[in-house]
Amino acid sequence: MRMRTCVSSMAAGSSMEWLKSVKGVILDMCGVLYDSGEGGGQAIHGSIEAVKRLMDSGLIVRFCTNETQNTREKFVQKLRAMGFDISVSHVFSPAPALVRILRERRLRPHLLVHDDLMPEFDDVDTSSPNCVVIGDAADKFSYQNLNEAFRVLIGLEKPLLFSLGQGRYYKETDGLKLDVGVFMKALEYACDVQAEVVGKPSADFFQTVLNDMSLQPHEAVMIGDDLLNDVGGAQRCGMKGIQVRTGKYRPSDEKHPSVRADGYVDDLAAATDAILTNH
Amino acid sequence: MSRRTLKAVLIDLSGTLHIEDAVVPGAQEALARLRQSPVTVKFVTNTTKECKRTLFERLRRLNFDLQEREIFTSLTAARNLLEQRAVRPLLLVEDSALEDFTGLETSDPNAVVIGLAPEHFNYQTLNKAFRLILDGAPLIAIHKARYYKRKDGLALGPGPFVTGLEYATDTKATVVGKPEKAFFLEALRDLNCSPEETVMIGDDARDDVGGAQNAGMLGILVKTGKYRPGDEGKINPPPHLTCDSFPEAVNHILEHLLGSK
């Protein structure tokens, strides 16, 4: 039975009793619900059912992703086609959050983002850019495109770089691949600037989700595959963080010098068992 | 401050002995005079694109008296390190630089070498390098320049990509070029002398003089090439000497640094 898997994976003496006070769950998507890759990717075993169980349980459920290879709408469409019963209004991603920021601060971006994300910026003025925005552009991270972004950035009187997330890598069906954070660091180093990160693990981003849930941090738990950006980021906001062993997880994540998850479970199904056992 | 007798002089190339295809006035004769003294001479450079043979041929065309084996580049430093560690490199370097790595096994790589190679800095190749490093392959950087000047404007150097891979893998690259201490010490390895017995002459305050002095050598900054007024104030400690050009540097060495007569 799944219970056995849960218990054996926790630190000695810890039974995740704190789950009793949890009223809401925030789920990372890539690496928790599904693995991306050829043909759009595939659902992780047990995750579709797990999401349904969480939503039926009375807990408040939201989805928090740094996915920027697609608009939110297209992305949710893809997941619904896989069998996940989720709606756009419950999904939080960096691009809409950034568009709000650009508008508030009257900024015009030079965009280095995935082609499929461009529609998120349809109403944004991109002429005479006064900042640079990078997202998970995958194959668009060519030397030429990076150089172009670099030239805009270094030519600005006040170089301003926004990064949609700061992930180091993610898992696709054919292996690990470099994420936006790597190219953010590259541009930071080249121009001697520090990027503003929109999306996980920014506290503002998590707070937006919590506000939508009308919950205090201690009443919510984040479940993710990225120890630093999902779990660590959530913990820094006062939430609990559970690390799954799917997606980009690597065994060394359980021996990290500074981030210790509040629970390590095999997958979302196991996490769900643990949560519902305590409710 | 007492110093041991001077035994070696390291000389930067571009900006110090010549600027593109123009010789620094008096440089050839100054080199000849230096060679009449008991010091050993070595030519050191941070090139990532040009193999030793290309550099040698250019210097011969400019009538400098030197041998190819007296040239030590950051590519040589990288090659030496690969041999020392007995690893097989994935070489992200320009084709023109590959010649300096001939003889090394490159199939089934277990090390990554990054130089200035725009055509290799694409997502696919970077992913390949990333996965090797994640599996334990050491990351060796020829140098970490942030950017350089091209005819069509500024262009990203290898530094940003090295930094990105360090971040991705949570590892630190071994940087072999100037201003790393390792570069200067490696230049001396076959000369049988210590840094305290060596002088470095160059036009880059930070990379040539600062780096050399940090390794225990004396540094002479020449006001040719990329030198800009005030550069001597940008390093600490300041250069042992700042002078107009290579011939003046040689004069100083011959008059003041050759030890007791």
Q: Is the dihedral of CA B48, B50, B51, B56 positive or negative?
A: negative
Q: Which of A72, A115, A79 is nearest to A95 (CA)?
A: A72
Q: Quick one: tokens of B24? A: 């620094």
DSSP string for residues in A225-279 = S-IIIIIIHHHHTT-EEEEESSTT--GGGGG-SS---SEEESSHHHHHHHHHHT-
Measure the N-to-C terminal CA separation of chain B; round to a whole number of Å. Answer: 17
Q: What structural domains does chain A harbor?
A: 2-92+200-278 (3.40.50.1000), 95-197 (3.40.50.1000)
Nearest alpha-carbon partner for B74 in B106, B51, B42: B51
The alpha carbon of residue A20 is apart from the nearest alpha carbon of chain B, in Å, by 36
Strand order in the sheet with A109-112: A109-112, A131-134, A161-164, A196-198
Is B148 within 8 Å of chain A by CB? no
CA pair distance A138, A149, nearest whole angstrom: 15
pLDDT score recorded for residue A12: 36
Do the interacting molecules here have an ipTM over 0.95?
A: no
Rg (chain B; Cα; Å): 19
Which residues in chain B have their CB less than 8 angstroms from residue A185's CB? 160, 163-164, 166-167
| A141–B124 C-beta distance less than 8 A | no
Is the per-residue pLDDT at B149 higher than 90? no
The reply to whether residue B127 touches residue A177, judged by beta carbons under 8 angstroms, is yes
Chain A: give the shortest CA distance to residue B211, in Å: 20
Q: Which residue of B has its CA nearest to A176?
A: B131
pLDDT by residue (tens digit) across B57-89? 999 999 999 999 999 999 999 999 999 999 999
* Cβ neighbours of B139 in A, within 8 Å: none
Give pLDDT, residue A269.
98
Q: For residue A258, which residues of chain B lie inside 8 Å, CB to CB? A: none
pLDDT tens digits, residue range B180-214? 999 999 999 999 999 999 999 999 999 999 999 99
Q: Which chain A residue shows the shortest CA-CA distance from B170?
A: A168
Contact at CB, B165 and A182, closer than 8 angstroms: yes
Of all residues in chain A, the one with the smallest CA distance to B163 is A186
Question: What global pTM score does this model have?
Answer: 0.85
**Residues A221, A22 contacting (CB under 8 angstroms):** yes
pLDDT at B252: 97
Tens-level pLDDT at each residue, chain A (279 residues): 444 444 444 443 356 889 999 999 999 999 999 998 888 889 999 999 999 999 999 999 999 999 899 999 999 999 999 999 999 999 999 999 999 999 999 999 999 999 999 999 999 999 999 999 999 999 999 999 999 999 999 999 999 999 999 999 998 888 899 999 999 999 999 999 999 999 999 999 999 999 999 999 999 999 999 999 999 999 999 999 999 999 999 999 999 999 999 999 999 999 999 999 987
Q: Report pLDDT for B20.
A: 84
Asked if residue A22 lies in contact with residue A241, where contact means CB atoms within 8 angstroms, the answer is: no
CB contacts, 8 Å: A192 with chain B: 146
First to last CA, chain A: 18
Contacts of B128 in chain A (CB under 8 A): none
pLDDT value for B3: 56
- Closest CA relative to residue A234, chosen from A270, A200, A211: A200
pLDDT in tens, B120-129: 999 999 999 9
Longest dimension (CA), chain A: 61
Q: In whole angstroms, how large is the CA radius of gyration of chain A?
A: 19
